[in-house]
Structure 1
Amino acid sequence: MSTFKSDLTALLPNLRAFARSLCGDGVWADDLVQEAVMRAWANQDKYQEGTNLKAWLFTILRNHFYNEVRKNKRYQDVGDGETAPENAVHESQLSSLHLKDLVRELGKLPPDQREALILTSVDGFSYDEAADICGCAVGTIKSRVARARRELEAQLDGADIGPAAAGAMSSSGPDGKLVARG
């Protein structure tokens, strides 16, 4: 099982970035990741070798997040921007899209749209994989991604937020925050 441990450890930055995109709070994101890792570790016998470990872990994390939200623990609507993900892009790394603005507007999206966009455009999951993680139909994921892109494009004065533009971000830097590639 040392392969499981090393694979799980390698995915920690991705898990933290995804958790942060869901909740918008670094401390809560760390708590979500810790709980997801503990649950995965306790249930590693249920993981089928050769399947997508990243998708399995993201599903555990996502389910835990929504369970916490249902319990009304620590969750605040990100519409006011107070709990939106922080910008971790150094000013010298800004692309023509002004990633600082993109990250701020991303935090204002409804959670289901933000989640779908992050999974497909930042974390590199296919629509099928994202649908499995979210427990919905592939068409639903495609619709959420399309709505999220339209909303971001409108908020960012028509900037292209297609796959190539969203790909300008990687899921995380060493601290788990969104950063620009470059």
Structure 2
Amino acid sequence: MVQSDFEGSMDPRDELVTHMGVLRAFALSLCRNSATADDLVQDTVMKAWKSIGSFEKGTNMRAWLFTILRNTYYTNHRKTRREVMDTDGHFAATMSVKPEHDGALAMTDFLVAFNQLPDEQREAITLVGASGFAYQEAAEMCGVATGTMKSRVNRARQRLVELLDLSDEDSMELTDSGTMAVLTAHLPVRRA
């Protein structure tokens, strides 16, 4: 436990480690590269550690960390704007997966579709769908109106349904555990 400068209370730095998984999932949704996501999470934790004095006790630590991560990502993104990215998924689409691996194929399909979403929609669906933030909390983190956040999530879900060629009978539930599993690539996701 870290020596606390916070009178008689637990140091908020002790809570940082509990948010690493969701921070990594959010970072992956933004930068679409696991090594870059790991660097982004590391930068976020370092910034949070250094700025722990600005954290207001009693507020949402996860929202504070997500805001730091998001701001760090966009600052870095502006610096590296000239790099070539696989924005249209062309290179990802050329990757082959053996047909007998349905779970891996479903996950690959989802990730290819997910990576085709605009940044704002990926960010919105990750915050609301995977990380469990309320629309209002996610909107505050992104600096937009709650209605804008709802629209982004809805458009992201609709676009994923189109990209994954799901019919009306197919379910497009982006639950916390399902989306988190796909985004963090720890568990295979299977189509029903």
TM-score scaled by length of structure 2: 0.77
Structure 2 CA distance for aligned equivalents of residues 108 and 4 of structure 1: 37
Pair 1:60–1:82, CA change in 2 (3 A)? farther
1:116 aligned to which of 124, 130, 140: 124
1:79 aligned to which of 88, 100, 106: 88
Kindly indicate whether the alpha-carbon contact (under 8 Å) linking 2:48 and 2:68 is maintained by their aligned counterparts in 1: yes
Larger radius of gyration: 2
C-alpha RMSD over aligned residues: 3.1
Q: Read off the aligned partner of 2:85 and give its amino acid letter.
A: Q
Q: Read off the aligned partner of 1:118 and give its amino acid letter.
A: T
Match in the other structure for 1:171 = 180
State the Cα deviation string for residues 101-150 of structure 1 (Å, max 9, x = none). Answer: 22221111111101101110111000001101111111111111111111
Shift of 1:33: 0.6
- Runs of 5+ consecutive residues of structure 2 not aligned to the other structure: 5-9, 94-99
What does residue range 1-182 of structure 1 map to in structure 2 within 5 Å?
1=4, 3-72=11-80, 76-80=85-89, 82=91, 94=103, 98-159=106-167, 162=172, 165-167=173-175, 169-171=178-180, 176-177=184-185, 179=187
Structure 2 CA distance for aligned equivalents of residues 40 and 13 of structure 1: 16
Structure 1 CA distance for aligned equivalents of residues 132 and 42 of structure 2: 22
State the Cα deviation string for residues 2-55 of structure 1 (Å, max 9, x = none). Answer: 542331001111111110110011111111111111110111011011111001
- Runs of 5+ consecutive residues of structure 1 not aligned to the other structure: 85-90
Kindly indicate whether the alpha-carbon contact (under 8 Å) linking 1:169 and 1:180 is maintained by their aligned counterparts in 2: no
Structure 1 CA distance for aligned equivalents of residues 62 and 133 of structure 2: 9
Q: Read off the aligned partner of 2:70 and give its amino acid letter.
A: R
TM-score scaled by length of structure 1: 0.81
Number of equivalent positions: 173
Shift of 1:78: 2.7
TM superposition outliers: structure 1 runs of 4+ over 3 Å: 81-84, 91-95, 97-100, 159-162, 175-182
The higher-RCO structure (CA 8 Å, 6+ apart) is 1
Shift of 1:70: 1.0
Structure 2 CA distance for aligned equivalents of residues 4 and 21 of structure 1: 26
